[in-house]
């Protein structure tokens, strides 16, 4: 089965959630750039994040970032990332339908957070 990628727009997240996601993106970008220069990037696991920082960060995001960095380094010879967004896959993303709205929950810095998303007609069949 082919991989399906959906880019969903968050529906009016609170200022707190926006700030938290921006902070996570900043940490993720710094980690990805550090990882590009790491000599053992091909053997990297989520435990490598402890070498980078003492902060708490969801291991699901760390693992996805490691996969993305390995791929970018191997296939596109990436040298630096301007912005590495936190990405979520079907193992750490939960989609629920509440009435006419869809809510997506994913791991954040402290806990799992749910956010309503804007579901376009072409998203409906996949959600």
Look at the pTM and tell me if it is higher than 0.85: no
pLDDT, tens only, 60-89: 888 889 888 888 877 777 788 899 888 887
pLDDT, tens only, 4-30: 777 888 888 889 888 988 999 999 999
Q: In three state form, how does the secondary structure of the chain look?
A: CCCCCCCCEECCCCHHHHHHHHHHHHHHHHHHHHHHHCCCHHHCCHHHHHHHCCCCCCHHHHHHHHHHHHHHHHHHCCCCCCCCCCCCCCCCCEEEEECCEEEEEEECCCCEEEEEEECCHHHHCCC
């Amino acid at each position: 089965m082919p991989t399906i990628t959906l880019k969903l727009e968050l529906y009016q997240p609170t200022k707190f959630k926006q700030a938290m996601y921006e902070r996570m993106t900043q940490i993720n970008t710094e980690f990805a750039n550090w990882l590009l220069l790491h000599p053992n990037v091909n053997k990297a696991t989520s435990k490598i994040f402890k070498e980078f920082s003492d902060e708490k960060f969801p291991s699901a995001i760390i693992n996805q970032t490691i996969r993305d960095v390995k791929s970018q380094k191997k296939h596109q010879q990436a040298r630096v990332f301007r912005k590495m967004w936190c990405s979520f896959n079907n193992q750490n993303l939960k989609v629920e339908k509440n009435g006419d709205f869809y809510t997506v929950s994913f791991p954040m810095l402290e806990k799992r957070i749910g956010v309503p998303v804007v579901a376009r007609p072409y998203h409906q069949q996949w959600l």
